Structures are given as structure tokens and as C-alpha cells.
Amino acid sequence: MLERIVIHDLRDRAFLAKLVIRQNGQIIEIDCRPSDAIALGIASETPIFVAERVVAQVVSEPMNLASQKENLEYRRDQLADQIAQLHAHLEDESFRTSLTMTELRQVQQQVQDMEATWKPSRRFCGSCRSRNFRLPIFDCRLNGG
């Protein structure tokens, strides 16, 4: 059961969130995109918490173009890792059986939404390569490409 949403950190201008799920009396924390976490929290009327230090960091100076590009690359890599983590949870029989059908569908939909966001564009700038992925053309424009 989805117990709470926690926006726990801000790294390289990217918010980090976790879904806190109670399964068989144990707490499981799953990394999640904050936008997806907030959407799930609102849809399921689950409490959403934001760490005070995250709020304090938000008022920092604006990013330059190089920082924005670095941030996009970091977020892309984090999203790929989160997708892999959710797939691993969905392959775990005990995890799947601990969820209601509605909760299972929500997690499966979240994975699909994350994959759609991550899926690289068909148009690429060849100069943008990192961890065997290429940035979509709209990311490359930050680098003047």
C-alpha cells in the first residue's frame, strides 16, 4: 500500500522523490520521478512530504546553459536507473502479490510513463553521448548543437 510520498533531495537541480510502500508490514522505498510521485499522491490521496533542506535549496541562483545540459544528462541517467529498479520490483513475485490490482496498475503505468519520457527521440545530435545513450535534439540545443 502506498503510504507516503517524500521529496527528499535536490541534486544538480533535480528533485529526488521516493514512494514509500508498506508491504507485509515492511517499508519499501522506491525512487521515483517527483512529477510521477506527486501525481500518484494526489490520485490516491496519499500524503506528500518535502524535506526542509530541499525547500531551502530551491531559492539558489539560476543555472547557466552548461549546468542545464549537465542537469538534463543527470536526470536522464537517473530516470534510466529508476526504470530498471521498478522493473526489478515488478519481476519480484512477492512485491506484485503484496499490492492490490489498482496499486499494481499504478506502478505499471508509472513505468510506462517513465519509459515514454526516457525513450530517446529519433533525431539526435551525434556530439551528445553519455553512458551509451544520446540526448534528444532538444537537449543538444542547450550546447548550441
80-106 tens-digit pLDDT: 888 888 888 888 898 888 888 998 888
How do beta strands 26-32 and 2-11 pair? unpaired
pTM tops 0.95: no
What are the residue ranges of helices labelled H in the chain?
34-44, 52-58, 65-91, 93-98, 101-118, 137-140
3-state secondary structure of 98: helix
Q: Domain residues for 92?
A: 2-143
Provide the domain count of the chain.
1
Residue 4, phi then psi, degrees to nearest 5: -165, 165
Count of residues for the chain? 145
Cα first-last separation, the chain: 45
Q: Report which listed range, 5-9, 10-14, 40-44, 107-111, is most confident.
A: 5-9
68 vs 119: which has the higher pLDDT? 68
So what's the pLDDT on residue 62? 61
pLDDT cut 70: percent of the chain above it = 76
Residues near 40 by Cβ (< 8 Å), separated by ≥ 6? 2, 5, 19, 32, 46, 106, 110
> Which residue is it, cell 542537469?
71
Which amino acid is it at 138?
F
